Chain A
């Protein structure tokens, strides 16, 4: 019983921490969802330890804690993948911005001496 209370407190604190980060705007919603899922799952397992051995026997894992480890690893991998996807997206955006900045700078620098160009026109894409 004491163990359950101990771990319950930790998980609840973690969840509260995530919510506080969300509220202060330091953590974006899209990243918080996976973490919240992790927190809630932990809470369920802590509150009902039987659930673990029951689900372990359901999928045919002899030692229940192995199910826990496997799930933990999968979730962490999912979060890593999500972060990689985000970084790739950011990289593309940074690249677009760099190109944009370069083109704008060239337009400012060459704004004079090139009368054949229609300076006011920037084609929207």
Chain B
């Protein structure tokens, strides 16, 4: 079984070294691919020194673009399973194997932040937006999902192929859009509760206005994804 950890990184020099060391310590047998999304700092060099395979995107494409490059790489190098992990260290590498294990019963396994483990809390409008999104997508997937915007996702061959067909680089395209399209093309989704940690670097954005904009944009993305014509299986 060939497995790959995909870490999209854009100017994450402050955090990526520790994240990769932790991943190596937790799951030494799995290949690690860092997608350097046009970083202007030392992200790529640090990743290389840490022993990861590095994809250099010539300019910044956004998380969606970086992830699809990663999935393309996985497809071409014949990987059976992929898991995406954030470079900022908010996903605990200890959980990687548990999220991957979710693939035994589904095509996509989401490491979910809202179940009992961990102490991640979103408040106010942002929480409502996430709740609403989760409710709608749960209905679509016919399974209860609590954290559909989680970037801690694993996929099998079917999911990798689908992501290569549809993984928009737009806002929320990497989470909501790609997930909805995957469900609509018949992929099975499951979720695994994981602990979410504080970011190593950077500040999480949270103010009412931003949350309202988030709600609006996520709803637009969701509506578009629900009505888009699914890309045909080739």
Contacts and interface: CB of A to CB of B under 8 A. Distances in A.
Interface of A: 95, 98-103, 105-106, 109-110, 117-118, 122-123, 125
A102 B76 contact: no
10 contacts: A95-B68, A95-B169, A99-B69, A102-B56, A103-B69, A103-B72, A106-B55, A117-B77, A118-B78, A125-B75
A102 B57 contact: yes
A98 B53 contact: no
Given A106-B55, A125-B164, A125-B234, A99 B72 contact: yes
B53 A102 contact: no
B58 A95 contact: no
Nearest to A103: B73
Interface string B203-234: 00000000000000000000000000000001
Given A98-B61, A102-B55, A102-B57, A123 B76 contact: yes
B50 to A, nearest CB: 14
A105 B77 CA distance: 14
B234 A102 contact: no
B93 interface: no
B56 A99 contact: no
A100 B234 CA distance: 19
Given A122-B76, A123-B76, A98 B234 contact: no
**Interface residue SS majority, chain B:** mixed
Contacts of B69: 98-99, 102-103
A110 B53 contact: yes
Interface of B: 35, 53-59, 61, 65, 68-69, 72-73, 75-78, 164, 169, 234
Contacts of A123: 75-76, 78
Contacts of A103: 55, 69, 72-73, 76
B233 to A, nearest CB: 12
A106 B58 CA distance: 12
By Cβ-Cβ distance, the 4 closest A-B pairs, closest first, are: A99-B69, A102-B55, A102-B57, A106-B55
Contacts of B76: 103, 122-123
Contacts of A98: 57-59, 61, 65, 69
B211 to A, nearest CB: 28
Given A102-B35, A105-B56, A106-B56, 13 more contacts: A95-B65, A95-B68, A95-B169, A99-B65, A99-B69, A102-B55, A105-B55, A106-B54, A106-B55, A106-B73, A117-B77, A125-B75, A125-B164
A102 B35 CA distance: 9
Nearest to A99: B69
Given A95-B169, A106-B73, A101 B58 contact: yes
A7 B68 CA distance: 54
Contacts of A110: 53
B165 to A, nearest CB: 9
A99 B37 CA distance: 10
A112 B56 CA distance: 18
Contacts of B57: 98-99, 101-102
Contacts of B53: 106, 110
Contacts of B55: 102-103, 105-106
A103 B76 CA distance: 9
A125 to B, nearest CB: 7
A118 to B, nearest CB: 8
